[in-house]
């Protein structure tokens, strides 16, 4: 702050301060030995504040000063409301990190434990009825759809008949150890930030939306990398239920944090450039088919949906702060 000048009478100093607020100059009035000083919060506006102070001293009874009071009080009320919202939005991270991980981020830990449990129980989604009939039957109910009849395409009839969990449960299946470890690492890294800042229920809703949209699109549009390489009009998508993994959700969480950090400066989210580069490079490495069969449609849809939700939330929050 920088001092614009001083006025001997407190009431006059506050009238001037209110008028300055209505013309976009935020000030603070402080008591001094020789009266009341007016301090400008934005130093680039000091000269303007000094000119207005000189005009006020020359004509303190100008009607414009009295007329500015109601508007100034309205502006102050809005500013106080903003500060209160910002205060409620703060999280004491020291207190958060003193709590065990299971209490800080219960849904993140539940998803990690469930993914490990389902993956090991189904032997990385390779269990057969000959090995264990019950575990194989359990696996069949985890896939998004039932196996298609010979010569027919797979459908979501089971979902339509009430097995709604199939829209989400493929995210718990992982097909090899590296697949599981990679996804769990990123789920913990990204998920704990969102669950800590936004809360468990909002995080649950975000995961559900990303999981359902990415799983459904992966089912109907598999092998997107082959479709991109094929001549136009020659590739036919055939619905396939045998896919799994948390990576579509991971890319959605990444996209959500990335956009929130860029579009909502009060969100407390942060995404460094190295992480953004790593995630995008890995996305295109997978899309080019350099690391074997990958659910690339789920990656892409998850990323877009997460970014879209992040943008919508950031825009809504900024709108609420203005009003």
Q: Can you give the residue ranges of every domain in the chain? A: 2-89, 101-322
Q: Band the pLDDT of 299: cuts 50, 70, 90.
A: very high
Residue-wise pLDDT tens digits, 302-323: 999 999 999 999 988 877 765 5
Q: What is the mean pLDDT of residues 278-302?
A: 90
Say if residue 221's pLDDT is above 70: yes
The tens digit of pLDDT for each residue in 54-112 reads: 999 999 889 999 888 888 888 888 777 766 655 655 544 455 445 566 678 999 999 99
Pick the residue with more confidence: 91 or 113? 113
pLDDT band at 255 (very low <50, low <70, confident <90, very high): very high
CATH 1.20.1540.10 fits 101-322, yes or no: yes
Q: What is the pLDDT of residue 133?
A: 93
Return the pLDDT at 43. 85
For residue 93, the model assigns a pLDDT of: 46
Lowest mean pLDDT among 5-14, 89-98, 214-223, 242-251: 89-98
Q: Which fold has domain 2-89?
A: Alpha-Beta Plaits (3.30.70)
Q: What is the mean pLDDT of the chain?
A: 88
Q: What is the 3-state secondary structure (H, E, C) of the chain?
A: CEEEEEECCHHHHHHHHHHHHHCCCCEEEEEECCEEEEEECCHHHHHHHHHHHHHHHHCCCCHHHHHHHHHHHHHHHHHHHHHHHHHHHCCCHHHHHHCCHHHHCHHHHHHHHHHHHHHHHCCCCCCCCCCCHHHHHHHHCCCCCCCCCCCCCCCCHHHHCCCHHHHCHHHHCCCCHHHHHHHHHHHHHHHHHHHHHHCHHHHHHHHHHHHHHHHHHHHHCCCHHHHHHCCCCCCCCCCCCCCCCCHHHHHHHHHHHHHHHHHCCCCCCCCCHHHHHHHHHHHHHHHCCCCCCCCHHHHHHHHHHHHHHHHHHHHHHHHHHHC
pLDDT at 217 (0 to 100): 95
Higher local confidence (pLDDT), 104 or 197: 197
pLDDT at 155: 93
- Please tell me the predicted confidence (pLDDT) of residue 35: 85
Q: What is the pTM of this model?
A: 0.70
Q: Please indicate whether residue 89 or residue 36 has the higher confidence score (pLDDT).
A: 36
């Amino acid at each position: 702050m920088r001092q614009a000048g001083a006025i001997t009478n407190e009431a006059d100093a506050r009238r001037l301060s209110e008028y300055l607020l209505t013309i976009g100059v935020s000030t603070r009035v402080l008591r001094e030995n020789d009266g009341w000083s007016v301090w400008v919060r934005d130093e680039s506006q000091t000269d303007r504040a000094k000119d207005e102070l000189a005009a006020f001293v020359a004509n303190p009874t100008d009607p414009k000063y009295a007329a500015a009071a109601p508007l100034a009080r309205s502006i102050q009320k809005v500013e106080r409301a903003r500060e209160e919202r910002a205060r409620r939005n703060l999280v004491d991270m020291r207190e958060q990190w003193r709590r065990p991980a299971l209490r800080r981020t219960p849904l993140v830990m539940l998803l990690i434990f469930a993914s490990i449990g389902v993956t090991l129980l189904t032997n990385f989604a390779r269990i057969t009825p000959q090995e264990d009939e019950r575990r194989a039957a359990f696996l069949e109910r985890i896939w998004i759809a039932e196996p298609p009849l010979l010569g027919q395409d797979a459908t979501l009839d089971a979902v339509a008949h009430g097995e709604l969990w199939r829209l989400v449960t493929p995210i718990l299946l992982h097909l090899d150890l590296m697949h599981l470890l990679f996804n769990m690492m990123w789920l913990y890294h990204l998920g704990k930030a969102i669950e800590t800042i936004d809360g468990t229920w909002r995080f649950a809703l975000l995961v559900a939306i990303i999981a359902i949209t990415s799983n459904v699109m992966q089912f109907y549009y598999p092998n997107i990398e082959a479709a991109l390489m094929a001549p136009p009009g020659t590739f036919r998508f055939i619905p396939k239920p045998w896919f799994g993994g948390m990576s579509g959700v991971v890319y959605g969480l990444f996209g959500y944090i990335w956009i929130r950090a860029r579009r909502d400066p009060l969100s407390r989210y942060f995404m460094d450039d190295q992480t953004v580069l790593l995630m995008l490079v890995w996305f295109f490495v997978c899309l080019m088919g350099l690391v074997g069969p990958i659910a690339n449609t789920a990656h892409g849809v998850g990323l877009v949906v997460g970014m879209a939700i992040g943008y919508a939330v950031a825009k809504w929050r900024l709108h609420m702060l203005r009003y």
